Structure 1
Amino acid sequence: MPKSKRAQVVSLTKVSKKTREHKGALIQELQENAEKWEYCWLFEVGNMRNAHLKTVRKLWKDSARMFFGRGAVMAKALGTTPEEECRTGIHKVGKQIKGQVGLFFTNSEPDEVISWFDDFRPDDFARAGNKATRTVVIPEGPVMQYHSVPPEPFPHNEEPQLRKLGLRTVMKKGVPTLDAPHELCQAGKTLTPEQAQLLKLIGEKMAEFKVRLIARWIASNGEIVQVDNMEISSEEQGGEVGDDAAEDVMSE
């Protein structure tokens, strides 16, 4: 008996590729925003977190438009030569689109934009490959979760994970406990995956999300202004940007 078509298994993890039509629509949207706004900023992100980037979008939703990810599409939309540019002078921004960078369109004055992004630096958990900003020692006694208010000890069922991450814990009255202090990390040393996971579990934040403004294009005269801002180091550039994550930020 032939197999019923209704019995076919469909993987829920399969993601369809973006079509030529989708990319074309995105290029058109970018070019429409280049026509609409007075300034186009090129930026990059340190310690990338999608949640923080979406917070920026939410806070600026009435006075700006942000695009992040798909650098080749953004460069194609703006143009990278005078012959290809969609607005006078904007190809100088398109030429600089490399790596994890984004575009920020707004009518807000440059001083306001620069000041806002200088102040917006939420703390977050460090990742493997980041450098520890301080030495952390877990004291003798019950292993505590400091992100809880007030801090509370880890439950008994998490003791195997703590041991797997390098803690020499023992169970005392059902609580994972250290018989001696444990140095989790040293200031200035690169964090291992185990150290980064332990820091997250106990609630120690060592990373800082920050946006570096690279350049801005001015619609009224077609000029490009390079922004003298602190360079983001290579260990800060990693983050959770996949195609789908980036597309969420770009298309919402």
Structure 2
Amino acid sequence: MRKKLLYVEDDNTLAFLTADNLEQYYDVAHFANGKDAFEAFKQQDFDLCILDVMLPEMDGFELAAAIRERNVEVPIIFLSAKTLKEDRIKGLKLGADDYLIKPYSIEELILKIEIFLQRSQKQAPVKNMTCTIGSFTFDPQNYALTKGSETIMLTERESALLKLFIDNKNAILKREKILTALWGTDDYFMGRSMDVFISRLRKIFKDDETIRIENIPRIGFKLVAP
């Protein structure tokens, strides 16, 4: 069965050329503004989303955030003329899987699409088994950390990162291993996104002295916990 892509681009010429190429391999639903695209996303199932950033009515960042509120797993690829490092990092922090700069090649885009589609298909369902870390209970399937009566919801990637740390507790994890396991690539911008997630986990655990995520200079990180 052909995979279904949500493609949002307001440049008619670029949209026609890109969609025409993608339709050789996928079913493509194209929209020229973020608002219409989100309405379609709420009503249909998509296997992957391709978003421009500068869109009318609802920009790509707002659209990605809205998509992530409804679905934390569907892959998102940004295609944008915004080349600032801050824009790429913002897109990745919103939960995007990649951020390609215009002009891009169709071959590269298709390669990225295939990588993320294959990765999402290979992800086996997480067993509904909670585990204890310090004074917290971690539920990886539901992306939840519980301490007493308080429950903290993690993003999918934060949960995957914590699970990787717990599976390698008290051992050094190299940066490249973490990046490859979670993003499929050892990339500078993905690394910056990873650092943001680690910073949030540290804030969550800051009041539990038995848990710490140590920075191992020029190598990686180590979760120290009982």
Q: Same fold (TM over 0.5)?
A: no
Higher helix share: 2
TM-score (norm 1): 0.22
Larger Rg: 1
Larger RCO, structure (CA 8 Å, separation 6 or more): 1
